[in-house]
Amino acid sequence: MSRAAFVFLVLAAAALPWQLRAQDAPTGDSTAQPAPAAAPERDVSWKELPGNILSDQKNIWLFPAHLRHRSALIGALAVVGATAALVALDPKEGAYFRNTTAFNGFNRVVSGNNTSIGMVVAPLSFYAVGLIRKDEKSKKTALLAAEAVVDAEILTTAMKDIDRRMRPAAIAPHGNYSDTWFESGGSFLRGQGSFPSGHTIAAAAIATVIARRYGHEHRWVPYVAYGLTAVVGFSRMSLSAHFLSDVFMGGALGYSISRFVVLRQQ
């Protein structure tokens, strides 16, 4: 991995809104304090959505200022370390999926278009159920999921335009999978690079909103939500659309944005 790529990984991890609100508490007092009361549910509506997204983006892009707090710094460094380790493994994993036909059947079912459709259908289904049953929680869940996806995709597009990492599919079957950073071209609007995975960040963002809002009522919900996210992430590798490190960072960003920025939970 080049020095420039490592620097970019550090900057990428700095974008992780790791326990954004929790870091603002003073840290010098060792006296035990009572646990804070649960935060009230965040208001969201079609009218409030644009303003919420602008507020979210401010929190996301200003997050590096919170790295002075120990727990935020530890979280960011953990993600950097894990991602760097996966980048080192990417040439082997990328070459394997590029040169195998073992997943052709899986890839036809869990294709890029099919996963995109599924990620649109999921929040729309919650919204439709909310309208039919007059269930405000379902409607708010759909809007929060949409907010999280927009937040995630804005960040993803910016990161891809910076890193311009080549996708495994753009490399010859027996080519060099180690030199992939700052090499690709493409549209700025869609994000030029491979890092992070846009499908995975969107899937993780939606899954986290649903899991965090319904997991206490139905314990199976997080397993299904995050399980489907894992399927989406694996499909991006089996399709040679992304490396494992792209998928890992997409999952970490999607989870963090939904939980700490959109839902504003600790």
Please tell me the predicted confidence (pLDDT) of residue 183: 82
Please state the domain count of the chain. 1
Residue 126 belongs to a domain: yes
Q: How far apart are CA 39 and CA 105, in angstroms?
A: 45
The arithmetic mean of pLDDT across residues 243-251, rounded, is 97
Whether pLDDT at 105 is above 70: yes
Q: How far apart are CA 70 and CA 14, in angstroms?
A: 13
Domain residues for 251? 3-24+36-262
Residue 147 belongs to a domain: yes
Residue 222 belongs to a domain: yes
The arithmetic mean of pLDDT across residues 113-134, rounded, is 95
Tell me the three state secondary structure of residue 11: helix
The residues, any chain, with a CB within 8 Å of residue 115's CB and separated by 6 or more, are 199, 203, 232, 235
Please tell me the predicted confidence (pLDDT) of residue 68: 76
Please tell me the predicted confidence (pLDDT) of residue 35: 39
Task: Count CB atoms within 10 A of the CB of residue 124.
Answer: 13
CATH number at residue 120: 1.20.144
Among 36-40, 75-79, 202-206, the minimum mean pLDDT is found in 36-40
Whether pLDDT at 28 is above 50: no
Cα Dmax for the chain: 60
Q: How far apart are CA 42 and CA 26, in angstroms?
A: 24
The residues, any chain, with a CB within 8 Å of residue 251's CB and separated by 6 or more, are 200, 201, 204, 229, 233
Residue 51 belongs to a domain: yes
Structure confidence at residue 25 as a pLDDT band (50, 70, 90): very low
The arithmetic mean of pLDDT across residues 42-59, rounded, is 91
| 225 within 8 A of 207, measured Cβ to Cβ | yes
Residue 29 belongs to a domain: no
Residue 143 belongs to a domain: yes
Structure confidence at residue 250 as a pLDDT band (50, 70, 90): very high
Please tell me the predicted confidence (pLDDT) of residue 187: 65
